[in-house]
Structure 1
Amino acid sequence: MTGPLVPFREVVLKVHSRCDLACDHCYVYEHADQSWRTRPKTISDDVIFRTAQRLAEHAKAHALPSVSVILHGGEPLLAGPARLRRVCEVLTSAFDGIAELDLRIHTNGLQLSPRYLDLFDEFGVRVGISLDGDRAANDRHRRYADGRSSHPLVLKAVDLLHQERYRHLDLGLLCTVDIENDPHAVLDALTELDPPLIDFLLPHATWDDPPPRPDGSPTAYADWLLAVFDRWQEQGRPVPVRLFSSVLSTLGGGPSLTESLGLAPTDLVVVETDGQLEQVDSLKSAYEGAAATGFDVFTHTFDEVAAHPGVRARQLGLDGVSETCRSCPVVRSCGGGLYTHRYRSTGPSDAFDNPSVYCADLAALVRGIEARTAASLVAPEVTEPLELAASQRDLTRMLLARLNADIEDRGGERWARAWELAATVEASEEGARGLDEVLAHPYTRTWLLHALDQLHERPGSVAAALRLPVYLAAAAVRVGLDLSVDVSYADGRLVLPGLGELRIGATGEHGTARVRAVEDGFLVRRGEGDPAERRVL
């Protein structure tokens, strides 16, 4: 598998490995992998510290602007306020001055109280709660071990989270689909709680352990979800639904919004309570040890996990799905389905080289949503020139960020200075406007693509990338930004993209010139020792 490593931007940190519910659809306790039985119940100080250290190093090495850490379990609130405070303090300290830390917690809500929410407010920890719908739907699976309903306490937790002082922490509700539940009743119960987001998840299943289909229909899950979609449309889409938003986004040519759909590479890793580093947690549904990497936070870096074959397999986009999926017209939306759901112990040498066990459902869901919304799926870029310009600018910015991430330390001090200068240009409103104007020039996109190709085809070759300062100089000149920029010139010619070419030396001459914007143009000086400064209007 070739190509640069995809750094981890999302980490699931298991802070407690036991739960206070006995949900019969839980992949942690009820499916193939039973490794939870040997894990420590609660994460230790050593694991917290080493995880924070390793993750901060990873973020710094890849210049990540932010990293999400999701506190998980089991039931993470069972770790207690003191342990969760320790986690938040250590992570916050480790990321100080390196990257933004996005802390989240996913809970069943039974233990939620003002004591926890005050702590979460202090550290900006946002809270997602599992709820499968109305009481009848929720009680089908989400009960205590003695059979008692958990529904009243979950509603109490949602009400508490919706108090004015805590509402900004609310991430929304996660609902696992059960096709025996009334789809309209489920959606109504969830939307009545006015969450900021609803996320529907298909129950984890594989070809070895397929999902229940009481009526034998191969599209029973799509039919259920489309009934929810129709109800959601009738209600005027009162709450964002991630699954539907993702399908609508991909049908319109945009990105997937969820790991379970789309072709975007995975950027998630799991840290267990004992410090073991694992792949995406849902793999525990496939077989014992499916999520294991053999790595841990004490002796391995996150880059080593990112290079693991199992992780790389989920970063190949279209090349990472089965041959059947590659020829399917809806693959751009469904992405072959969740990786776990492709598992079959018999068949090809790669047990995940299969369509999803929900293949027919996913195809029917995508086509059903497309048929219902065809008129609204025309991308605004097609009809609005300004939208097209903004989209193209954003794409070029993404390429520039990708170049910075991929070049790492190969650009040396010259690249570090150039990237710091880029930040200086963009720090002011006029500088950002000038940079946008330069990024909109078609030659800029061509340069970025060439620099990326050169970087990957001839490792260590960064000459094209080091032309960044001439683009920054052009941006500064366009808006009259008071900034001196050292740029390279060749064959006696200085070229400022979008502004033109200036002869400043003899044919064959190469060197460095300093460009500085002035009110009516810009000044150019060749090298430190050159007394002549040319004014260009």
Structure 2
Amino acid sequence: MKAVPFRQFVLKVHSRCNLSCDYCYVYEMADQAWRNQPRRMSETTVNHAVERIAAHAVTHRLPSLAVILHGGEPLMAGTGFLADLVRRLRATVPAQVEVSMQTNGVLLTEERLKTLTDIGVKIGVSLDGDARATDRHRRFADGRGSHRHVDRALRLLGQDRFRNAFSGLLCTVDLEHPPLTTYKALLAYEPPAVDFLLPHGTWVHPPPGREADSVGTPYADWLLPIFDRWYDQQETWVRLFGEVTQSVLGGTPAVEGLGLRPSTVVVVDTDGSIKQLDSLSATYPGAADLGLNVSADSFDTALSHPLTGLRQGGIKSLAAPCRSCAVVRTCGGGLFTHRYHGSTGFINPSVYCPDLLRLISVVRDRVSADLARAAQ
């Protein structure tokens, strides 16, 4: 297959975090390489990364691309550092550059928000619902909950002067908390979008409440009451439901972990290492490593790596049960990370396969029934 150019560049500008979330794939799962990473991306590494992104844009004539500032916690790099990086990107890359940041929100202040807003950075905040749900997992190292700090930040971000910078909320699904209670807590901040993230797990280490060989659907069962409310009321854009619905209507899902569109995400770590999906840290040590670095290697070299080919391979790269599945066009085999098995690598259905099948089937049937009624 002809490789598809990268269009989403995740820059891990800081390798440490000010929270100690117990489900974090970076710090709590298989790959502990973060311990050996520089704390902050150096000026030299920033220059190399920006130059490589620009060269990729030129080579592939990209009219636009996205840069995601990530970590660890990216705000620990300092807003002055981030502002200089963004200005350098926009001055060097000959394409429209959309810059966003995913933060836990704890360090967001009025001054920092003003800086980020002025340079056009879109801000996504991680929050797992109300105080009880959030503080169950998203805690400081000393055990204190983070919810009140994030609540303060989100109230600032919701003000008219900063509102345009707010890109949405990222919520990791927790089966221990009622779905509608969680959703209502998120809606209280009037987010422009909500992303529900399935906890990272594999066939080796299944996610909480999900037995690897079970046909049960605990995650679909948790998500479906929220889907029903979202479908009826449309209070915000829920990316998972929106992408599945669009796929049912004939569109192509545009998010990682759904559909058969080739993955165009690449990661640059704080030491300049070019890597695959960051969430591969949940599988085994070194799973995301390509042996490349922006100091010496182009992103085109990363495009030719076999693991990139597997991530971009579409239906041909999926396990046999997936290729013959009725919802494969929407599911796409699930997130690449969630397919991992110790003996067969990534050529497996997602560990969430039963959940994805049920969720997509229910959405498809609901949309199809409405279309049939409308056609009468």
Task: Tell whether the structures are fold-level matches, with TM greater than 0.5.
Answer: yes
Residues 1:43 and 2:37 are matched in the alignment: no
Residues 1:142 and 2:128 are matched in the alignment: no
- 8 Å contact from structure 1 (residues 131, 154) kept in 2: yes
How far the C-alpha of 1:114 sits from its partner, in A, is 2.0
1:346-357 counterparts in 2 under 5 A? 346=343, 348=344, 351-357=345-351
- 8 Å contact from structure 1 (residues 242, 257) kept in 2: no
Distance (Å, rounded) in 2 between the aligned partners of 1:217 and 1:192: 34
Distance (Å, rounded) in 2 between the aligned partners of 1:160 and 1:245: 27
- 8 Å contact from structure 2 (residues 136, 145) kept in 1: no
If you compute each CA radius of gyration, which structure gives the higher value, 1 or 2?
Answer: 1
How far the C-alpha of 1:123 sits from its partner, in A, is 1.6
**Does the residue aligned with 2:34 lie in a helix, a strand or coil?**
helix
1:121-520 counterparts in 2 under 5 A? 121-213=117-209, 218-234=216-232, 236-346=233-343, 348=344, 351-376=345-370
The C-alpha deviation readout for 1:223-257, integer Å capped at 9, x for no partner, is: 001122123234x1110100000110111110103
Distance (Å, rounded) in 2 between the aligned partners of 1:46 and 1:376: 56
Distance (Å, rounded) in 1 between the aligned partners of 2:292 and 2:306: 13
Q: Partner letter of residue 366 of structure 2?
A: R
The C-alpha deviation readout for 1:386-405, integer Å capped at 9, x for no partner, is: xxxxxxxxxxxxxxxxxxxx
Q: Partner letter of residue 61 of structure 1?
A: T
Q: Partner letter of residue 167 of structure 2?
A: L
Distance (Å, rounded) in 1 between the aligned partners of 2:294 and 2:254: 29
Alignment CA distance shift 1:214-1:322 (3 Å): closer
- 8 Å contact from structure 1 (residues 187, 232) kept in 2: no
Aligned to 2:32: 34
Aligned to 1:99: 95
How far the C-alpha of 1:89 sits from its partner, in A, is 2.2
Aligned to 2:81: 83
**Does the residue aligned with 1:101 lie in a helix, a strand or coil?**
strand
- 8 Å contact from structure 2 (residues 266, 275) kept in 1: yes
How far the C-alpha of 1:296 sits from its partner, in A, is 0.4
The C-alpha deviation readout for 1:280-311, integer Å capped at 9, x for no partner, is: 11111110000000000011001000111101
Aligned to 1:53: 51
| Matched positions, count | 372
How far the C-alpha of 1:214 sits from its partner, in A, is 7.5
Alignment CA distance shift 1:34-1:134 (3 Å): same
Alignment CA distance shift 1:321-1:94 (3 Å): same
How far the C-alpha of 1:40 sits from its partner, in A, is 0.3
- 8 Å contact from structure 1 (residues 28, 34) kept in 2: yes
The C-alpha deviation readout for 1:148-183, integer Å capped at 9, x for no partner, is: 111111111111111111111110000011111110
Q: Which of 115, 121, 128 does residue 119 from structure 1 map onto?
A: 115
Distance (Å, rounded) in 2 between the aligned partners of 1:213 and 1:166: 38
Aligned-residue identity in percent: 48
Q: TM-score, normalised by structure 2?
A: 0.96
- 8 Å contact from structure 2 (residues 215, 354) kept in 1: no
Distance (Å, rounded) in 1 between the aligned partners of 2:34 and 2:135: 24
Q: Partner letter of residue 374 of structure 1?
A: S
Q: Partner letter of residue 173 of structure 1?
A: L
- 8 Å contact from structure 1 (residues 108, 129) kept in 2: yes
The C-alpha deviation readout for 1:413-452, integer Å capped at 9, x for no partner, is: xxxxxxxxxxxxxxxxxxxxxxxxxxxxxxxxxxxxxxxx
Distance (Å, rounded) in 1 between the aligned partners of 2:72 and 2:110: 21
How far the C-alpha of 1:86 sits from its partner, in A, is 2.1
Structural RMSD (CA): 1.5
- 8 Å contact from structure 1 (residues 340, 352) kept in 2: yes
Q: Which has the higher contact order (CA 8 A, sep 6+)?
A: 2
Q: Partner letter of residue 357 of structure 1?
A: V
- 8 Å contact from structure 1 (residues 47, 297) kept in 2: yes
- 8 Å contact from structure 1 (residues 248, 377) kept in 2: no
Distance (Å, rounded) in 1 between the aligned partners of 2:306 and 2:146: 40
Distance (Å, rounded) in 2 between the aligned partners of 1:27 and 1:353: 21
